[in-house]
Chains A and B, each alone.
Chain A
Amino acid sequence: DAGVTQSPTHLIKTRGQQVTLRCSPKSGHDTVSWYQQALGQGPQFIFQYYEEEERQRGNFPDRFSGHQFPNYSSELNVNALLLGDSALYLCASSNSYEQFFGPGTRLTVL
Chain B
Amino acid sequence: AQSVTQPDIHITVSEGASLELRCNYSYGATPYLFWYVQSPGQGLQLLLKYFSGDTLVQGIKGFEAEFKRSQSSFNLRKPSVHWSDAAEYFCAVVPVMEYGNKLVFGAGTILRVKS
Contacts and interface: CB of A to CB of B under 8 A. Distances in A.
Interface of A: 4, 31, 33, 35, 41-45, 48, 50, 55-56, 58, 90, 92, 94, 96-104, 106
Interface string B9-40: 00000000000000000000000101010000
Interface of B: 32, 34, 36, 41-46, 49, 51, 90, 92, 94, 98-108
Contacts of B46: 98-100
A58 B105 contact: no
B90 A42 contact: yes
Contacts of B41: 106
16 contacts: A31-B101, A35-B105, A42-B92, A42-B106, A42-B107, A43-B44, A50-B100, A55-B99, A56-B100, A97-B49, A97-B51, A97-B101, A99-B46, A102-B43, A104-B43, A106-B41
B99 A99 contact: no
Contacts of B43: 4, 90, 101-104
